[in-house]
A and B are shown apart, each in its own frame.
Chain A
């Protein structure tokens, strides 16, 4: 009896050990698969993604990046030889430069946004103030003429009383019409300097910009990796604005107004609608420019 129980226990133990072995081997396989995914020395993980490749091409360092990737597996000690060190610094140098360029352009857009918001808020506040004033004025004039007409009726002058009420109604109608027309009013002189939108619209400007932005220009005029329509980032932006009705016409004057570019001898004014459209376009442009950060990050990861 005892032997039978012992055999049963032994079988159970062997079974448990076998199950544990199978489970642990499965876990090992899973863990090693995971390790393969995150191991930076793995060749697949270290191959250039399309984004990283585009960034390397824009920065003119694709050969260096490829060389750095090729050199890495030959040295497992962790220390860098002079060549690797120089290559890494070259890559870091260019990535930092591009990152600063993105920050600079994003900063410029921030400034243009601040100007646009400042103008928009001013126009909207002015409009709201006018509308509130017109509404209150309407109540006040109606009330005053109404109060004045009361005694006329009481003192046997119904014609005068009615005339006053008639005037009140007419003025009320006039003020309401003015209020309606004010809802679409309000303009200001275009100021604050030409915005980054002039570059998106590919406008010819008389003076060169204060800072040359070759990488950003190249990035914005390039077709994104894996794009099927063959359109550049700038073209895609313009297309999106047309689809969203932010850009209703391609006329030169409209593009100049949106870019806040005033040619010599002209005097442009901007309204709330135009400022709202410009703000939307500036945000879109800033977002697109800042997407270069993601490509730079990809490049840094693949060369780390």
Chain B
């Protein structure tokens, strides 16, 4: 009997340990997507050997100027006045400038989406807050009014019962108003009246930006992200990141529709969803701007 019990205990302990380990590994896997950078990390040893930084190397590939960059780096010490070198420099600068403008364009789109979301959120928040103050004030008013009536009744022994009934009505109403206040808070919502946000390009595979085929930036986002498992593209890494970082339920079509303001799926948005949208848009914008840093490093590699 004792042996059986001890066996059961040992088995239970082992199972518990295994479950804890699995949970810990799942948690650490999830945490890997919490604070991310989408550009490859610099490897100082390689750079010391004269190699191009990893992020600059990748951008040169994206801009399709790897050969030109190599040539410029070889002749960087003295570009001179040769027309050929100047043409190569111009081509590289042109592409860098184009890519930089692409970042400006998407950042501008994010700014617009953020502005729309903030306006909608402000509207709902002020309505919610106004309702809270209105109901609280109504509560104070009814407590005050019925309190006066009750106390006036208290001067006469005749109204003793009525006085207590008024008091009970006063307190009952107070409970009702407070409960209404507590319940009504999270229910505020509004009709979605904005266009699908930039987030849609990440959550919906088929919702591609119109310059998807020609844009260097989108090419960069469609490439596998170094340092992440399963050859995930940057788009996919970002979606995983939002699942961990923003608590986004990516498998729920309704939630995704509300957060992305995609009105083909849902028609109303609430405070919670708008807050999530703002957080994700801010995050997306900062990840778009990461591309600037890679462009900067590439430029630094070819400038003399």
Contacts and interface: CB of A to CB of B under 8 A. Distances in A.
Given A86-B79, A103-B103, A211-B297, A146 B171 contact: yes
B244 interface: no
Given A86-B81, A139-B174, A103 B90 contact: no
Contact of A104 (B97, B172, B296): B296
Given A85-B86, A140-B178, A143-B178, A114 B286 contact: yes
A210 interface: yes
Interface string A180-199: 00000000000111000000
A210 B168 CA distance: 68
Nearest to A97: B299
Contacts of A85: 81, 83, 86
Contacts, number: 142
* SS of B interface (majority): helix
B275 A86 contact: no
A69 B161 CA distance: 99
A144 B175 contact: yes
B184 to A, nearest CB: 11
Interface stretch (B5-13, B197-205, B212-220, B277-285): B277-285
B185 A107 contact: no
Dominant secondary structure of chain A at its interface with chain B: helix
A66 interface: no
A103 B292 contact: yes
Given A107-B289, A132-B132, A139-B139, A100 B100 contact: yes
Interface of B: 35, 41-42, 79-83, 86, 89-90, 93, 96-97, 100, 103, 132, 136, 139, 161, 164-165, 167-168, 170-175, 177-179, 181-182, 185, 275, 278-279, 282-283, 285-286, 289-290, 292-293, 295-297, 299-300, 303
Q: Which 10 A-B pairs have the closest CB atoms?
A: A107-B289, A146-B171, A111-B286, A114-B282, A139-B178, A143-B175, A143-B174, A150-B168, A143-B171, A100-B296
